[in-house]
Structure 1
Amino acid sequence: MISSGLIGFVAGHYSADRPPAVAGKKNQHSSPALSAASEAEHVSYVCPMHPEIVADQPGDCPICGMPLVAHTHAHTPQNSAFPAVKISPTVAHNLGVRLAQAHTGTMQRKIETIGKITRIDPTARQILTPPISGELSFVADKDAGDQVKKGELLFAVSSPELLALQQEFQQSFTDGDRQSATQMLPRLQQYGLSAEQISRLQQGEPPRLAAQVFAKEDGFVFFRRGAVGDPVNRGFTVFNLSGNTQTVEVTAEIFERQWNWVETNQQAWMTVRGLPGVHFKGRVVRVEPPVGYTTRSLEIKIKFKTDHPGLSQSMFAHISIDAQSRNNILQIPKDAVIRTGDGDRVVKLLDDGAYQPVAVVCGEASAGMIEILSGLNDNDAVVASGQFLIDSESNLQAGLRRLANDNGQRQPNAIDD
């Protein structure tokens, strides 16, 4: 709000042959309608040519001398600075208006980044070592060149440490100490017991189960070491396997805000510009600690199994990662949001069929959807296509409303045929 004293000061310096208009006094340009409007609540007076000149009483603009126009705030629609717009079905069809509904659900995060092929292993080696120190109680009869199948048992390890932990777990479970038993589960899994073996312990099977190691994928034995009864430690290589396809390792970087989105074993996709239409499917295998104070980036490693001859080391590729999802997120299509310098807004469909721009606060955007933090409710209908023309019409009506006086002048409130 510009005070009346400041208005008078500007007017005195602008024109010497015209007396300055002082807010609070009527002049020859004032109309009875403006005088009546000044008595209403929430009425301000604005110059139609200089909207920064605002007074709480009728008068002239100190810059251009035009009469100030009454602006009644009571007529402004609630929750929006823009009036609603009525559109006939024919015009809506011609404008290509398409509606979408705000809904609360799961937002699937996707990370799009650029990666570089840092390593190609033509043998796709896989080294299998014991999960705990002990002695070999079983070794599959496989020699170099023999084929292995995914899920096939390759060797087992017995360990006094593992047997003692099994006894303690079974005793706690039998005594009803579920809290202590639950706390031991991660260690049992770390030492190589499967969920099926743990279930057998809970059912009372004697606690002398061995840690078992299975083949993670189809392949061939490159070499095998050890026999039943041999002592082994966690770094001892029992089987060295080679897969049927080569392994392509890609190094990529993600932004700081995406640090907690990525975990190992998440699915990833790769495309290369030189191979249009070809998509490679892989998984995240390693997430490095945060690096780079200036770039604030995180380095990740992704592996793809493929024999495609078009891939070579040092090639750049586009990487898409299916990151962790978020639940109970109010979201709308990203295309429905109008980005402006004054903030974001959407065009909302009202109950009476009119369209009204409303301000919104947006959050994360992913997979074509954007999170709405405030401004909309669940099941609100918004315009997802053609909203810019409706928003422009509402802006035009808002400008005409500001210029209007109380002479009963009709304001356009619809887009007719």
Structure 2
Amino acid sequence: MNKQRNRQRNKQRTVAAMLATAIVAGVAGVGLYRAGISEGMKQMPPPGTGAMSASETDKKPLYWHDPMYPGQKFDKPGKSPFMDMQLVPVYAIGAGDEGTVTISPRLQQNLGVRTALVTEGSLSSRLSAVGNVAYNERDVALVQARSAGYVERLHVRAPLDRVKKGQALLELYIPDWIAVQEEYLTARRMQGSGIAGLADAARQRMRLAGMTEPQIRVIESTGKVHPRMTIHAPASGVVAELSAREGMTVVAGAPLYRINGLDTVWVNAEVPEAAAARVRPGAVVEARTPGLPGEVFKGRVGAILPEVDPSTRTLKARIELANPSGQMLPGMFATLTFAPAAGKEVLLVPSEAVIQTGTRSVVIVAREKGEFLPVEVKSGIEANGQTEIREGLAAGQKVVVSGQFLIDSEASLKGAIARMGGTPEPGGGKVAARPHRAEGKIERIADDEITISHGPVASLQWGPMTMGFKPPPGGLPRNVAVGDTVTFDFRQQDGNFAITAISPTAAAPAPPAAPTKPAGAPK
């Protein structure tokens, strides 16, 4: 029993020692935390002065304000009527620019602020696109039957066969040629005056029958009738279409062969709609295809087709490429590189310096003495990490390329504060502040201030708070005292809030007493 009691006592002592140690450590931690906060507050500038202000001790404050309510200005230091804190001074920050921000060199280094010069140069970049090889539709030869006849023999019998210029394609038997040829030979054999005119007329009838001059010269040289005609290829290339077959009847004008040349080919490149302005007819293009590794084909943009594909949002650029060896074939996939065109001189800034807000483009301009000013610009095209600036800047200015978002945020806040200072009237004064109404309880009455614990003020978006007000010009009514619930009107006046009217809140009427029953009335 004694051993159990000793063990229990030892356990209790151990737990008590551990609790005491934890309490001491907690108190020490709280003390260190508070000390750290105090030390940090000593090193940090007061809230609301803006980490962007430098050497403000030698400047005269323009006014004081509460950082939580920056639209309210005060003409002297003191305690904030909104929060339990001192008012913060606001200093002049440059030559009248509302959005100017001043940053000390040490703070610029801490924020990682970097600048770059606005330069002049031409903005050019290579554009890449993809496309497919196609026949050059301007290099097409069509072979037709000049007269009605019959196909007796085909020398080129299948589509996509390669042919050379002058190569025999097919033979036609043309019955109509027999009569005109015999008439011409008969006229030539006849002797006498006026016979020459008959020969010329017969020669003309052979032309009308569809015979060419070389064929007529063959008739003249041989003196024989040739009812068959051999048709030769008018150009070198590939038989794209073949409409003739041996034994078939053809009429005058019937298409027999369609021959596409391969000395030049087209590549229909798919160019993004956003890059269409950078592609111009005549631009030099280099083409590469996976089927011919290491080969580079050069050409030029022949035309920009006036149509945009609604599904891919691309337009077609027609590139004409030289293909002397005939290696590039229709249907091949090609990668195209457009050489940059020499552009005019424009203002350029790094693209990271431009802040896109969705409705405008802003650049932070670095000035002397650590001053920074947001400037709205009109930007142009972007390439190679550079952005064209069309309006808003000049060559030689410095723009911020790192940390500009912090500066722009601070500048926007200062500009908003300046704009909230009041709207001038035509006569030079300011528009009088509109009155506000609230209900609260009087906590203290002094000669120059009345402290009221009031409820929410919807017109100012205030929550419940206790603050001081200037008494009305005629003083408080006699029926108002400390502890009373009042309804009052107030307005902003010279940086303070002054009561314009105040009256006790009417008490709610008491509920009517229950009627009493006369004596002796039945229950």
| TM-score, scaled relative to structure 1 | 0.40
Report the structure number with the largest CA radius of gyration: 2
TM-score normalised according to structure 2 size: 0.34
More contact order relative to length (CA 8 Å, sep ≥ 6): 1
